[in-house]
């Protein structure tokens, strides 16, 4: 089995570590990035001859067909803007495909490749991180549970109790570009059976998570779950689907300032004869920040929560599914493990033919719930399910 991991950033490094630690059998792993030295630094500590580095420019993937022609599964950990490029490349080299999400609009474009993947007897699972990803699979548990499913509400909250050597100006675990887009694009919600777009950063109301997260203020952001769940669950009468995520207040204020200053602008401007988009400049600077040392061990917790309301045995019922993610200090990884590990889990399921179908699918359509949750448990992610015999559970205060 040959895996290709595209991207040597935080998520690519976790996916790599997960494959190395958990894959049973003979394997070859290629990690490719535009910055090959970054890959060399990533793979060096493993001293494994079956892990290789490669240069790759995803803007011109046709130049790399021969280099990756023997790859069976691509794990795409790059920014979502490259998803379509990589999917078309997967079709050319006859490889299955997994990514971390398309931020709603790209997700819809990716789904249009369904027939091409079916024709080539290949599988693409799109949006297979934490959110989208785990969120979709928890939502599908609710879909299977209810006779009639009326509402799905997704909420994400986290707390970082880690002690650091200094306070980073803008602590980010994934692309600031994507974060700025989430703060700038109109978020989609599915309400009263129809898709609707809201004001960016709206809906910031208190939501009470279980301990240790507690009360935080999630806001609406553009997300892929709203593109797929209403379609996947329409046969059970779904009318409401929403997504909110909570960021620390200081972080929200700083990102909003950058956005309002115009640094989320994707249109190129001329600076002394050089044309460049402000969002690319600020993203490059932010992603190049010096990272503080951890004093002691990483200590983080994130809760992925799905609240579903429906009819079960002729009774109004609310199902609350909470996936708790804790740090993995032995990997020197915090809660990002819930985004970087799922692609590895799914790649291994495809390899073992546990998932054995063709086409382009969101996770809720093809990932087996029980087996997936067992794999999360092995990685210090734990699910708790509550059932309430009414619809009185308050979503946000």
What span, in angstroms and rounded, lies between the C-alpha atoms of 369 and 96? 21
Tens-digit pLDDT profile for residues 3-12: 999 999 999 9
- The residue count of the chain comes to 397
Tens-digit pLDDT profile for residues 269-281: 999 999 999 999 9
Question: Is residue 393, in this structure, part of any structural domain at all?
Answer: no
245 and 97 within one domain: no
Tens-digit pLDDT profile for residues 378-388: 999 999 999 99
What span, in angstroms and rounded, lies between the C-alpha atoms of 122 and 97? 8
What span, in angstroms and rounded, lies between the C-alpha atoms of 63 and 146? 49
245 and 364 within one domain: no
Burial of 366 (0-12, 13-18, 19+ CB in 10 A): buried
Q: Which residues lie closer than 8 Å to 183 by C-beta, 6 or more apart?
A: 200, 201, 221, 255, 256, 259, 264
Q: Which residues lie closer than 8 Å to 49 by C-beta, 6 or more apart?
A: none
Arithmetic mean of pLDDT, 15-24 = 95
What pTM, to 2 d.p., does this model score?
0.96
45-49, 121-125, 185-189, 359-363: least confident range: 45-49
Arithmetic mean of pLDDT, 70-81 = 96
Res. 288: pLDDT tops 90:
no
Arithmetic mean of pLDDT, 140-149 = 98
Arithmetic mean of pLDDT, 169-195 = 93
CB atoms within 10 A of CB 121: 11
- The vertex-238 CA angle with 233 and 240, nearest 5°, equals 125
Residue 292 is part of which domain span? 134-335+377-388
| Token representation of residue 355 | 């998932």
DSSP 261: I
305 and 176 within one domain: yes
What span, in angstroms and rounded, lies between the C-alpha atoms of 3 and 48? 14
CB atoms within 10 A of CB 146: 21
258 and 283 within one domain: yes
Question: Is residue 164, in this structure, part of any structural domain at all?
Answer: yes
* Residue among 138, 17, 35 nearest 75 (CA): 17
Give, in order, the Cα–Cα distances in Å from 16 to each of 59, 157, 328, 351, 363.
23, 26, 15, 16, 20
Arithmetic mean of pLDDT, 103-107 = 95
pLDDT on residue 72:
97
Burial 179-208 (b: 16+ CB within 10 A, else e): bbbbbbbebbbbeeeeeeebebbebbeebe
pLDDT on residue 49:
83
Question: Is residue 226, in this structure, part of any structural domain at all?
Answer: yes
Question: Is residue 397, in this structure, part of any structural domain at all?
Answer: no
What span, in angstroms and rounded, lies between the C-alpha atoms of 87 and 133? 18
pLDDT on residue 175:
84
183 and 62 within one domain: no
Res. 397: pLDDT tops 90:
no
Decide if 30 contacts 71 (C-beta within 8 A): yes
- The vertex-362 CA angle with 192 and 238, nearest 5°, equals 20
Q: How many domains in the chain? A: 2
158 and 84 within one domain: no
Decide if 14 contacts 345 (C-beta within 8 A): no
Helices 369-378 and 134-145, packing angle to 10 deg: 140
263 and 146 within one domain: yes
Question: Is residue 191, in this structure, part of any structural domain at all?
Answer: yes
Decide if 309 contacts 391 (C-beta within 8 A): yes
228 and 88 within one domain: no
């Amino acid at each position: 089995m040959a895996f290709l991991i595209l991207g040597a950033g935080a998520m690519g490094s976790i996916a790599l570590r997960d494959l190395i630690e958990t894959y049973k059998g003979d394997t070859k792993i290629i990690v490719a990035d535009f910055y090959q030295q970054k890959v060399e630094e990533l793979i060096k500590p493993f001293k494994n001859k079956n892990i290789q580095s490669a240069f790759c420019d995803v803007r011109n993937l046709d130049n790399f067909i021969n280099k990756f022609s023997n790859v069976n599964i691509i794990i795409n950990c790059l920014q979502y803007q490259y998803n379509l490029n990589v999917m078309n490349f997967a079709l050319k080299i006859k490889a299955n495909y997994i990514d971390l999400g398309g931020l709603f609009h790209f997700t819809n474009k990716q789904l249009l490749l369904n027939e091409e993947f079916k024709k080539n007897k290949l599988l693409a699972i799109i949006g297979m991180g934490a959110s989208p990803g785990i969120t979709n699979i928890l939502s599908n548990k609710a879909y299977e549970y209810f006779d009639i499913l009326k509402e799905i509400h997704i909420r994400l909250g986290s707390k970082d109790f880690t002690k650091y050597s200094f306070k980073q100006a803008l602590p980010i675990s994934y692309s600031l570009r994507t974060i700025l887009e989430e703060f700038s694009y109109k978020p989609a919600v599915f309400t009263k059976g129809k898709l609707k777009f809201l004001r960016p950063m709206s809906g910031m109301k208190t939501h009470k998570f279980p301990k240790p997260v507690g009360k935080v203020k999630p806001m609406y952001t553009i997300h892929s779950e709203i593109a797929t769940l209403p379609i996947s669950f329409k046969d059970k009468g779904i009318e409401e689907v929403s997504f909110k995520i909570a960021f620390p207040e200081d972080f929200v204020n700083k990102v909003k300032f950058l956005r309002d200053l115009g640094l989320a602008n994707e249109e190129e401007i001329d600076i002394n004869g050089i044309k460049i988009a402000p969002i690319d400049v600020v993203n490059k600077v932010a992603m190049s920040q010096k990272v503080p040392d951890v004093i002691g061990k990483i200590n983080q917790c994130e809760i992925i929560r799905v609240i579903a309301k429906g009819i079960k045995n002729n009774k109004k019922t609310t199902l609350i599914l909470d996936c708790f993610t804790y740090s993995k200090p032995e990997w020197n990884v915090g809660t990002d493990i819930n985004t970087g590990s799922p692609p590895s889990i799914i790649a291994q399921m495809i390899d073992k033919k546990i998932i054995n179908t063709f086409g382009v699918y969101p996770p809720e359509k093809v990932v087996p719930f029980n087996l997936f949750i067992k794999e999360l448990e092995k990685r210090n992610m734990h699910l708790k399910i509550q059932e309430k015999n009414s619809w009185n559970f308050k979503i946000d205060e």
